[in-house]
Amino acid sequence: MGTDAVRRYGIPLGVALLVLAVVLVVVRLSGPDDEVRSSTPGAGGGSAVPGNPGDSGAGSGAPASPGGSDAAEARFTSVRPGADNRSLDVTFYGGVEKCYDYEVTAAAGPGDAIELTLQETVTFDGACIELAQEYERTVELDSPLGEREVVDAATGQEVLAPSP
């Protein structure tokens, strides 16, 4: 829009710039109001996915549980022993593949437990749609699962009970 348009429509350039600045401030302050939250039991909350982008599954953005408690929920929706009993098949929700990468690791926890850690990495520097996507990962164990319990390292919540 050049000076000819400003003269033709009678809009002083200063007023046009002021209106543009106000619109930008309002848009910036309003933020997203259609944020998606997971309502799947056992899947914590966060931005659009369980947990906030860049967190390690600590559940810092987890919504209150249905009972009204503020306890963080596990981010894993399903944990099953692998066919060989030396791995775990893990299911969880995360952000869209274009924007996030996920790694699940297993380590020795307190007592005889195995702790699962979910690491989320932002891989895209642009705008990302806030939708949850289901992921499946297989995590190799250092030794057979046996009768050990599996817990979410971030919350301490049991995600797989010991087998009898």
pLDDT in tens, 112-164: 899 999 999 999 999 999 999 999 999 999 999 999 999 999 999 999 998 87
Whether 27 and 39 map to the same domain: the answer is no
Whether 89 and 125 map to the same domain: the answer is yes
Whether 27 and 103 map to the same domain: the answer is no
Question: How would residue 110 be classed by pLDDT, with cut points 50, 70 and 90?
Answer: confident
Whether 142 and 79 map to the same domain: the answer is yes
Rounded Cα distance between 116 and 106, Å, is 5
Whether 17 and 52 map to the same domain: the answer is no
Q: Find the domain containing 38 and state its range.
A: 34-164
Whether 56 and 101 map to the same domain: the answer is yes
Whether 20 and 84 map to the same domain: the answer is no
CB under 8 A, 24+ apart: contacts of 78-84: 79/116, 79/150, 79/159, 79/160, 80/160, 81/145, 81/160, 81/163, 82/138, 82/145
Whether 83 and 47 map to the same domain: the answer is yes
Whether 5 and 67 map to the same domain: the answer is no
In contact, 89 and 138? CB cutoff 8 Å: yes
* Tally of domains in the chain: 2
Whether 127 and 156 map to the same domain: the answer is yes
pTM over 0.85, yes/no: no
Q: Residues 149, 152, 155, 159: what is their CA dihedral angle, to the nearest 10 degrees?
A: -60
Q: How far is CA 87 from CA 18, 33, 44, 136, 162, in A?
A: 61, 40, 23, 13, 14
Whether 132 and 158 map to the same domain: the answer is yes
Q: What are the tens digits of pLDDT across the range 136-148?
A: 999 999 999 999 9
In contact, 100 and 53? CB cutoff 8 Å: yes
Q: What are the tens digits of pLDDT across the range 18-44?
A: 666 666 655 555 544 433 333 333 333
Whether 14 and 65 map to the same domain: the answer is no
Q: Which amino acid is at 61?
A: G
What's the distance, CA 155 to chain centroid?
14
pLDDT at 28: 59
Q: What are the tens digits of pLDDT across the range 69-97?
A: 445 677 899 999 998 899 999 999 999 99
